[in-house]
Structure 1
Amino acid sequence: MALILVVAPHPAGALPETIRLAVTPVFLLAGISGLLGVITTRLARIVDRARLLKERTRAATVAQERELQGELMLHRRRMIMASRAFACATTSFLLVATVVVVLFVSTLATIDLTPLVALLFVLAMGSLMTAVVLLLREVQLGSLALRRF
């Protein structure tokens, strides 16, 4: 199947309509940026807590050290979850940004790239949903740490 590039004069309203269509994904980018900020803050807190636990381990008794090691393992799991959530949110951000670029390329080159836009958007939403689920799991692990230790 060959892709045929048709260069034709643009209808008068094509570019303004594309700009209007691109506004919604740009708002989504702002929301994802907020999510990335939340995940970054959580990662920083996990790292701070892990450092504190490492310091306490040096002066701990054997029983205390075992308990601290258990909490450290929990924080490692939290860090993995948060890091994966960050990666998925970043992937979603990049896919949404690509949707905006493809919208403009489609308009300027007068190519119907609607299937590609749809695919990219579905992938972006899947990645965003995965990020939120991972963040939820990380928060649950953090709550477990509070109750357990």
Structure 2
Amino acid sequence: MDAASLSTVSSTIQTAIAPVFLLAGIAGILNVMVGRLARIVDRARGLEQLHPRSTGPEHDRHVWELRLIDRRITVINSAIFLSVASALAICLVVALMFVSLLVNLHIGGIVAVAFIVSMLLLMGGLIFFLVEVRMSLGAIHVREELLELDARK
């Protein structure tokens, strides 16, 4: 490589640093999402053990919560899928930047579209994550009979 192409490579590396930092951020988000998925699965397993022994209103509550957990698993799985797809699109952006440099292609428009797609996928993943968090909050209300017991003391 001559000095001019070395400076071009250096410039491309500097330009690629921002998407790489974005990948690190997405990795952090994915870590949180996978942690939530693990907690959801743990809760489902706990309820599955209680479910056969429960009767009456407690049984109905277990069935309701298991159905909610099933929906939450689907939603958080979608959030994880979209976030991973976003990270892959960012990797594509970085790869296209270097391919463009090495082959001397003028594909700035394609790189821009790949970046926009990545942001849209990340937005979708974050929206699904928000939906899952809201769903989990719906399951954490204190039952009325427990509130009444507490009021008598």
What TM-score, normalized to structure 1? 0.90
Match of 1:91 in 2: 85
Deviation at 1:16, TM superposition (A): 0.7
Residue aligning to 1:7: none
Match of 1:104 in 2: 98
Number of the residue aligned with 1:6: none
Query: What is the distance in 1 between the residues matched to 2:57 and 2:5?
Result: 75
2:53 partner amino acid: A
Report the alpha carbon displacement of residue 102 of structure 1 after superposing the two structures with TM. 0.3
- Could you tell me which residue of structure 2 aligns to residue 60 of structure 1? 54
How far has the Cα of 1:148 moved from its partner?
6.0
Look up the match of 1:4: none
User: Counterpart of 1:46?
Assistant: 40
Match of residue 146 from structure 2: none
Does residue 72 of structure 1 match 2:61?
no
Q: How does 1:1-149 map to 2 (within 5 A)?
A: 11-147=5-141
In 2, Cα distance between the equivalents of 1:133 and 1:148?
26
Q: 2:17, 2:6 → 1: CA distance?
A: 19
Q: Following TM superposition, by how much is the alpha carbon of 1:91 offset from its aligned partner in structure 2, in angstroms?
A: 0.1
Shift of 1:13: 2.1
Higher relative contact order (CA 8 A, sep 6+): 1
Name the count of aligned residue pairs: 141
Structure 1 unaligned regions, length at least 5:
1-9
Q: Quick one: structure 1 residues 148 and 69, their matched pair in 2 at CA, closer, same or farther if it must change by over 3 Å?
A: farther
Structure 1 counterpart of 2:56, one-letter code: V
Report the alpha carbon displacement of residue 12 of structure 1 after superposing the two structures with TM: 4.8
Q: In structure 1, give the amino acid aligned to 2:38.
A: A
SS at match of 1:146: coil
- Structure 1 residue 40: deviation in Å? 0.3
Between the aligned residues of both structures, percent identity stands at 36
More helix per residue: 1 or 2?
2
